[in-house]
Amino acid sequence: MSTSESTYTPTLTIIGGGPGGYEAALVAAKLGAQVTVVERKGMGGAAVLTDVVPSKTLIATADSMRRVQRAAQLGVDLGDVEPRARMSEVDHRILQIAGEQSRDIEADLERRGVRIVRGRGRVVGPHQVQVTPEGAEEPSETLTCDAILVSVGASPRELPTAKPDGERIFNWTQLYALEDIPEHMIVVGSGVTGAEFASAYDLLGAQVSLVSSREHVLPGEDQDAAQLLEHVFASNGVNVVSKSRAEVVERTADGVRVTLSGEGAAQTPTLEGSHCLLAVGGVPNTEDLGLEEVGVRLTDSGHVAVDGVSRTSVPSIYAAGDCTGELALASVAAMQGRIAVAHLMGDAVKPLRKHLVASNIFTSPEIATVGVTQAQVDAGECQADVVKLEFATNPRAKMQGISEGFVKVFARKGSGTVLGGVVVAPRASELIWSLALAVTHKLHVDDLADTFTVYPSMSGSLAEAARRLHVRL
C-alpha cells in the first residue's frame, strides 16, 4: 500500500443538522472522515429547535401538573393552593432548553473537528453541494466530497382551507409564544402528535376538543392502549369528535371556528374555541433540493427512496430521517445516519430493522411499544402467546397513585422467544428498554423472568408477565 493510499481521508457533506445529520457527523468524524454539515437554522434541526425537544418539554411541565393534582390522593395537603401553569414562563423555559441543546450539539461537533456551514444546501452533482447563505440568492461556495448525506427532515402539512397564522391557528412548531393557557384548544388530528398535545393541554388546564378522522384515537397503535387513553381523555373531560374531518378552520372575532365533515359532523357540524392546533402529518423538505436532477429517486409523496443501509439510487448519496418516509422518529433518523456512515466507511453494517424500533407516545399515561403488535397476532401473521398484566396490581403503582396502565408481552408460541411488548404507564419510555433489549437479542421469556428486579418497582410487572409466559418443559 502506498503512502498516499494509507493516508487517504474520506470526505462527507451532510445537508441538515437534525438527529440523522449530527449523529452521522459524530460517527464519521470518529472514524476519521472529514465532515462538513450544512444547516440553515441551528444544530439539532427542527427536532431540537421546534419539534421533539420543545414538545416533550411542554409535556414534562404538563406531567408535573398531573403529579401535583394527584398529590392529595397520597396524603399531601396543598391547602387552598390551585396549581397553575404560567405559560409565558413555560414557553421561555422550552425555548431556553431547545437553544441550550442546540449549542451543546454544535460544541460537541466542533470538538470532533466537524465543520459547520450556515446556509441552504442543494445537491448539484453526485459529489457536489452548493451552499447559499440564508437570505442570499447566490451560492457562496460549492463543496466537493466523496459522499453526501441528505437529512433535511419534514415540515408540518398545511390544509388549503386551514392556514396557520401563529396567533390563533397553529402548527406544532408555533405553539411556544403563548402568553396564557388556551381557554379552549381544538386539536385537529388524532395521531401521535395530536394525541400528545391534546393530553398536554388538558393537563395544563385548557378545555380540549380532539378531531379524529377515525373511530378511535391513535389508529395505528395498540388498540388496548388507544382505548385506555380514550378512557383517560373522557375522564378528564376531553371532547373527542370521531369520524370527522376539518374542512375549514377560520378566525372569529375572539377565537376560531372549525367546520367539520364526515359521519361525526352530523352531530357536531362545527367546533368553536379560542385556539386550534393542526396536527395532520408532515411533508418532506425535498423540494428544490436538486435530488431528482442528479438521479435520486423520490417517491410519489416526495420522500427519498432508500434501502436498508440508507443508500439512494445514486451510490454516493445517502439519506436519513423524516425525509425518507421511514418511521418518523428521531431515534430512527439517528440510526439511519449511523448506518449510512458505517456503510460509507467500510465499518460493520447492520441494516435498519424496523421491527426492532422502540417508540413512545408522550401522552399521560405514556404508550411505549416494540416488536410484534397485537394487530399482527390477531391477523395470523405471527404465532404468539400474549400476556397482559394490569399495573393496578403492582405495589409500586399503588404507592404512587397510578391506577391506569398495563404491560403486554408477546412470546413466540412454542419457543418462548420475546417478540414484542407494550407498556402503558408513566415513564413507559424508560420501561420499554428491557423489552426492546429482549426483542433485539432474541431473549427467552425465562431470561426476563430469571433476572432480579427491585421490589417494589414498576419493572417488576414486566418480569411477572414473563413468568406467566413460562412453558414447563
CB atoms within 10 A of CB 291: 25
| 378 shares a domain with 342 | no
Number of domains in the chain: 3
Domain assignment present for 360: no
Mean pLDDT, to the nearest integer, of 39-65?
Answer: 95
Query: What percent of the chain is modeled with pLDDT above 70?
Result: 98
Q: Establish if 44 belongs to a structural domain.
A: yes
Q: What is the mean pLDDT of residues 456-465?
A: 97
Do residues 225 and 240 both lie within one domain?
A: yes
Residues 325-337 have a mean pLDDT of 95
Judgement on whether residues 23 and 150 belong to the same structural domain of the protein: yes
The C-alpha angle 426, 431, 433, rounded to 5 degrees, equals 145
pLDDT of residue 6: 52
Q: Provide mean pLDDT across the span 124-130.
A: 98
Mean pLDDT of the region 160-186: 95
* 359 part of a folded domain: no
- The pLDDT of residue 82: 82
* pLDDT value at 468 more than 60: yes
pLDDT at residue 2 above 60? no
Quick one: 97 and 178 in the same domain?
A: no
What per-residue confidence (pLDDT) applies to 1? Answer: 42
pLDDT level of residue 135 (50, 70, 90 thresholds):
confident
Asked if pLDDT for residue 427 goes beyond 90, the answer is yes
Put the strands of the sheet holding 141-144 in their side by side order. Answer: 120-125, 128-132, 141-144
Beta bridge partners of 390: 406
Q: What tens digit of pLDDT does each residue of 345-392 get?
A: 999 999 999 999 999 999 999 999 999 999 999 999 999 999 999 999
Is residue 347 located within the same domain as residue 389? no
In terms of Cβ atoms closer than 10 Å to its own Cβ (0-12, 13-18, 19+), residue 239 is middle
Q: Taking 80 as the threshold, does the pLDDT of residue 274 lie above it?
A: yes
Whether residues 323 and 375 fall in one domain: no
Is position 408 within any domain?
A: yes
What is d(CA 204, CA 198) in angstroms, rounded to the nearest whole number?
Answer: 10
Buried b vs exposed e over 83-111: b needs ≥16 C-beta within 10 Å? eebebeebbebbbebbeebbeebbeebee
pLDDT for position 134: 87
Q: Which of 197-201, 346-350, 418-422 has the lowest mean pLDDT?
A: 346-350
**Do residues 136 and 183 both lie within one domain?**
no
pLDDT tens sequence across 210-258: 999 999 999 999 999 999 999 999 999 999 999 999 999 999 999 999 9
Residue 253, in any domain of the structure: yes
Do 306 and 324 share a domain, yes or no? yes
C-alpha cell at 150: 441528505
d(CA 215, CA 376): 20
**pLDDT greater than 90 at residue 193:** yes
Judge whether 161 lies within some domain.
Answer: no
The whole model's pTM is what? Answer: 0.94
Tell me, yes or no, whether 263 and 123 share the same domain: no
- CB-count exposure of residue 41 (10 Å: 0-12, 13-18, 19+): middle
pLDDT of amino acid 351:
94
% the chain with pLDDT above 90: 92
Residue where a domain stops, chosen among 329, 354, 379:
354
Residue-wise pLDDT tens digits, 91-109: 999 999 999 999 999 999 9
- Give the pLDDT score at 261: 96
Residue 336 near residue 321 (C-beta atoms within 8 A): yes
**Could you tell me the strand order of the sheet in which 317-319 lies?**
115-118, 34-39, 11-15, 147-150, 317-319
Residue 118 resides in a domain: yes
Whether 4 has a pLDDT exceeding 70, the answer reads: no
Phi/psi-derived region of residue 218, left when phi > 0, alpha when psi is between -120 and 50, beta in every other case:
left
Specify the DSSP element, H or E, that contains 309.
none
CATH number of the domain where residue 33 is located:
3.50.50.60
Average pLDDT of the chain is 95
| Per-residue confidence (pLDDT) for residue 337, from 0 to 100 | 98
- Domain range for 435: 365-468
